Structure 1
Amino acid sequence: MEVTISREELKKEIIEIMKELDFVPKNESKGKTITLAQFKKEFCPGKSIDWIKEEIFYKYKPDFVFDIHPGHGRTIRIYESAAAEWMEKNSKKLPW
């Protein structure tokens, strides 16, 4: 028995499976911002927020962080795709 599936139907099914597995297309993460808590969970599990600020943000001043010293009523914004790229290139420099 042979089953024929159109390219469009196959594409829709693949997209659904990717969503179920939490895969994010590159173009969807471009420009997306995450919180400091999300950054900690994704890139520095086991490290404190203060460690992240001192050892990454203040020491290296990476361009993926917007408003490192936000003051009252504002939060640090982190560009996710740029953060992932920076962490991949520079993680060996960090004192884990």
Structure 2
Amino acid sequence: MAQNPERDVPTLTGTVNWFDPGKGFGFVISDGSEMDILLHTNVLKNYGQSSVADGVEFFVRAHKTERGIQTFEILSITAWAEFKAFGI
């Protein structure tokens, strides 16, 4: 699938603000801009996960849609943030 460069948002880092696996989505808050970025379960599944804890840090690629900015690819999840989110 070809990407539209005019719609692409630069690679972003952010922190999971809220994620509900039952609803199938959540939001990542972009570092620096405090912008909400939609995170859908399908994007997590493509990365090999079905859920994520609040507070986990991400490095993602996103694009603009009619409903706002959405992640379309997870590049990495900060391991220490995963441990911190689970109290380890």
Q: TM-score, normalised by structure 1?
A: 0.27
Instruction: Name the one with the larger strand percent.
Output: 2
Rg bigger for which structure? 1
